[in-house]
Amino acid sequence: MPILTSWGESMHTAHEFLKAITVVLCVAAVTTVLFQRLRQPVVLGYILAGLIVGPYVPIPLIADPGTVQVLSELGVILLMFSLGLEFSLRKLFAVGPTAGLTAVIQCSVMVWLGFVVGRAFGWTPLESIFAGALIAISSTTIIAKAFDEQGIRGKLRELVVGVLIVEDLIAILLMAMLTGISTGSGLSAGDLALTLGRLLAFLVGLVAIGLLIVPRAIRAVIRLNRPETTLVASVGVCFAIALLAQAFGYSVALGAFLAGSLVAESGEEKVVEHLVQPVKDIFAAIFFVSVGMLIDPAIIARYWVAILVFTVVVVLGKVISVSVGAFLTGNGTRTSVQAGMSLAQIGEFSFIIASLGLSLKATGEFLYPIAVAVSAITTLTTPMLIRAAGPVASFVDRKLPKPLQTFATLYGSWVEQLREAPRRHTLGASIRRLVGQLLIDAALLVALVVGTSLSLEKISLLLEDAAGVSQGLAEKLIIGGAILLALPFLLGIVQVARRLAGTLSLVALPLRAEGRMDLAAAPRHVLVLTLQVIIVLLVGTPVIAVTQPFVRGFTAPLLVLALLVVLGIAFWRSARNLQGHVRAGAQVIVEALATQSHAKAPGAEHGELEQVRGLLPGLGAPTPVQLEETSPAVGKTLAALNLRGLTGATVLAIHREGADVSVPTAQEVLKAGDLLALAGTHAAVEAAKALLNPPASQPPTPAEGG
């Protein structure tokens, strides 16, 4: 009898499972066909399907939420695995510094904004901290699906995926800290160091062992030439490493991504990707349906003001912070704006953080539905923002003042020179020492602010008893003393940032030999100020995010804002000086182009501009390009061609028989036979050359944007 009962229960469970997956896939099929006919992203169709089969809409088609949630987890794992297949460990390490710095700036800004908005709604400090944490992390799943649908590849995809991976690591740290704070035990510096150490040890151990086993195993399986065996083995590796990551307390998404990266190291990632694609698509669809099922119209109606405000904060905050961070770390204007608009949403980690707050009784029940609603709305807007990113980036580039346009082009080439410069042991030691000083100053500043806040009441009572002053006056005296103690650390951060920026700028634009004129002085001055702004942002934004819950008012943000305004004014003056430097250099380039166009000796076509590069190192590496008769640029103005907006390269000068042009305006019309001097990064210049004189077999393609 117990056997029959158990058999009956299992049959009932199987029936419910079959019913749930049937309802989900059939409704999703109808909605996605409809959205494809309307030429809308299919992700929106999946979310609408979730709303229809969810428990909150009075339609007699309800799928079991538990079953759908389990299946959606498989979708997340397979999506991350596919993403890892495209993004090998070599690519991850290459884009890591850029993506890491961008992610730190973005997450710090969003945590602070979320906290401020939460306090403005009257939420408790702990609820506001959770609000900041849940809007800080973008959705890898949503972006991966949108990028697949719109066919986005190349530099943009690599940058965005790199930022997302670093954000996932930051999310793990945030959850560890929030757990410590919510349980009342707090999170000491030792606990934080232990958390970081465990994460690093897990990543290093997994990658080291995985590189020895996974690529060899995948190559051996593929040699069997059995597609079904390859699929089963690859998916098995994916789920095994995802489960291993979960066992160590990390997300299955992180484990699945690393599994994909390890498989990609086999060199057979294209074969695996082709086999996994259909399976991934099915479970990814179920994931987005599960998101739609969580949307409760009644909750949205009750908290519509908070949902609207947080949606605006997520979209604007992420677009601006990511765009600024990506540009300052060496990406062009177009790629930076596109990255910002791609990352303007929240997703699966937001649900996890909101659930953590509920389970720890640290937040009210309202925060989870707000997170789901904001995620749903930003999921709807993400494909639209990604499609609009290219035109918006071109608009931003066109509207920048001329000095900033020139700076944007040359800055990319300076960062490229900085990355490619040979490393010297002494210089590396100097940079590490300065970075260490920065971290110490920042840590001491945080400790001073947090310590003063936590012990303010106790110290004020002691001062009140000892000096006989009122409690209000005692608190003011303590805060004033803390500010005086903090000033040396603030000044230390600014001064060390200046020294570090100067050291790095000399790597990109070295000083001339003694006695020779330093023609890179103007560009170097702009680079120093820019790097100083970056360093202040990198140190200042995390410090503000950590200390804001302990500080009354907006003293710390206003101080950093004032500092950035001062640096910004100095930067603008330097940028205008740079524009004059470029104009003078363009005259030299025009003469070099004229000499080059009349050169007859073999190999002389680049000799003159090579000399210019030596004379004017701040102008990057001017590259000559002659317009052919068949060039699509012939007869167009530079404004209509939008060369800088599409590729990141700019035209410094034009040699034209009888009418040379230095620093051409946007209205300059290009003619056949024009000899252009292009400046920018190597990738930008190559893309500009392809756009100006495309090969006959393929149309021109923009450099940035993927």
357 and 236 inside one domain: yes
Buried b (16+ CB within 10 A) or exposed e, 420-454: eeeeeeeeeeeeeebeebbeebbeebbebbeebbe
Same-domain pairing of 321 and 268: yes
Q: Does the pLDDT value for residue 668 go beyond 90? A: no
User: Judging by DSSP bridges, how do beta strands 661-662 and 623-626 pair with one another?
Assistant: unpaired
Q: Could you tell me the CATH number of the domain that includes residue 651?
A: 3.30.70.1450
617 CB contacts (<8 Å, ≥6 apart)? 509, 510, 519, 520, 523
Cα–Cα distance between 32 and 50 in angstroms, integer?
12
Q: Is 12 a member of any domain?
A: no
Is residue 307 very low, low, confident or very high in pLDDT (cuts 50, 70, 90)?
A: very high
In a domain, 643, yes or no: yes
First to last CA, the chain: 63
In tens, the pLDDT along 94-119 reads: 666 778 888 888 998 899 899 989 98
530 vs 411: CA distance, rounded Å:
9
**Nearest-CA neighbor of 384 among 109, 43, 62?**
43
Q: What is the pLDDT of residue 366?
A: 82
At position 153, the amino acid (one-letter code) is R
Q: How many Å apart are CA 490 and CA 396, to the nearest integer?
A: 34
In terms of domains, do 298 and 375 share one? yes
Going from the C-alpha of 119 to that of each of 78, 122, 127, 174, the distances in angstroms are 38, 5, 9, 19
- Here the tokens at position 672 are 């056949």
Is pLDDT at 527 greater than 50 in this prediction?
yes
Determine the Cα–Cα distance for residues 456 and 475; give it in Å rounded to an integer: 7
Distances from the Cα of 89 to the Cαs of 234, 260, 705, in angstroms?
17, 9, 22
Lowest mean pLDDT among 170-184, 342-356, 440-454, 626-640: 170-184
Strand positions, DSSP E, 324-482: none
The whole-number pLDDT of residue 313 equals 94
Q: Say which CATH number the domain at 118 has.
A: 1.20.1530.20
For 22-36, 46-60, 461-475, which range has the lowest pLDDT when averaged over its residues?
A: 461-475
What pLDDT is attached to residue 94? 66
Lowest mean pLDDT among 62-66, 133-137, 204-208: 62-66
Domain identity same for 379 and 278: yes
Q: What is the pLDDT of residue 305?
A: 92
659 lies in a domain?
yes
pLDDT tens string 646-664:
777 888 778 787 677 777 8
Q: 636 in helix, strand or coil?
A: coil
What is the average per-residue pLDDT within 568-576?
80
Q: Does residue 423 sit in the same domain as residue 298?
A: no
For residues 330 and 501, which has the higher predicted lDDT (pLDDT)?
A: 501
Give the containing element (helix H, strand E) for 541: helix 521-547
Query: Alpha-carbon distance 675 to 654, whole Å?
Result: 6
On whether residue 166 sits in a domain, the answer given is yes
Tell which residue, 381, 384, 340, has the closest CA to residue 150: 384
What pLDDT shows up at residue 318? 93
Of 574, 596, 618, the one marking the end of a domain is 574
In three-state secondary structure terms, 419 is: helix
So what's the pLDDT on residue 686?
81
Statement: residue 308 has pLDDT above 80: yes
pLDDT > 70? residue 404: yes
Output the pLDDT for position 603. Answer: 46
pLDDT by residue (tens digit) across 530-550?
A: 888 888 888 888 888 888 777
Classify burial at 577, counting beta carbons within 10 Å of its beta carbon; exposed 0-12, middle 13-18, buried 19 or more.
Answer: middle
User: What residues does 549 pair with on adjacent strands?
Assistant: none
Residue 613 sits in the same domain as residue 676: yes
- Where are the alpha helices (H) located in 135-268, listed in sequence order? 140-150, 154-182, 189-222, 227-247, 252-264
Instruction: Please check whether residues 196 and 124 belong to one and the same domain.
Output: yes
pLDDT classification of 370: cutoffs 50, 70, 90: confident
Q: How confident is the model at residue 4 (pLDDT cuts 50, 70, 90)?
A: very low
- CB crowding 89-108: b at 16 or more within 10 Å, else e: beebeebeebbbbbbbbbbb
What confidence category does residue 623 fall into, taking pLDDT thresholds of 50, 70 and 90? confident
Residue type present at position 5: T
> Quick one: which of 128, 99, 97 has its CA closest to 114?
128
User: Mean of the per-residue pLDDT values for the chain?
Assistant: 78
Q: What's the token pair of residue 603?
A: 């190999």
- What tens digit of pLDDT does each residue of 599-612 get? 544 444 455 556 55
| Tens-place pLDDT, residues 119-146 | 889 888 888 888 999 899 888 777 877 7
Where a domain ends, among 553, 574, 595?
Answer: 574
Average pLDDT over residues 309-325: 92
Q: In the prediction, which pLDDT does 705 show?
A: 44
| 421 in a structural domain | yes
pLDDT (0 to 100) of residue 604:
47
Cα–Cα distance, 161 to 253 (Å, whole number) = 13
The pLDDT, as a whole number, for residue 311 is 93
- Inside any domain, residue 19: no
| Cα gap 86→604, rounded to integer Å | 42
Q: Identify the band that residue 350 occupies on the pLDDT scale cut at 50, 70 and 90.
A: confident
Band (193; pLDDT cuts 50, 70, 90): low
Asked if the model's pLDDT at residue 184 lies above 70, the reply is no
Domain range for 173 = 64-399
pLDDT tens-digit map of 50-60: 888 878 877 77
My answer on whether 447 and 596 are in the same domain is no
Q: Which residue has the higher pLDDT, 454 or 208?
A: 208
Q: Measuring CA to CA, which residue among 155, 166, 170, 168 is closest to residue 339?
A: 155
> What tokens appear for 250 in the block?
């990390």
- As for how many domains the chain has, the answer is 3
User: 352: part of which helix (H) or strand (E)?
Assistant: helix 348-359
Q: What per-residue confidence (pLDDT) applies to 513?
A: 57
Q: Is the pLDDT of residue 212 over 60?
A: yes
Distance CA 523, CA 415 (A): 12
285 lies in some domain: yes
Instruction: Indicate the residue among 372, 399, 426 that finishes a domain.
Output: 399
Whether 86 and 181 share a structural domain? yes
Q: Are residues 539 and 564 in the same domain?
A: yes
647 and 498 in a common domain: no
C-beta neighbour count of 58 within 10 angstroms: 5
Q: What is the mean pLDDT of residues 187-198?
A: 63
Task: Examine the domain organization and report whether 548 and 608 are in the same domain.
Answer: no
Percent of the chain's residues with pLDDT above 70: 84
pLDDT digits (tens, 9 = 90+) for 235-294: 899 899 888 888 887 777 778 888 888 888 887 778 888 888 888 888 778 877 887 777
Residue 549 lies in a domain: yes
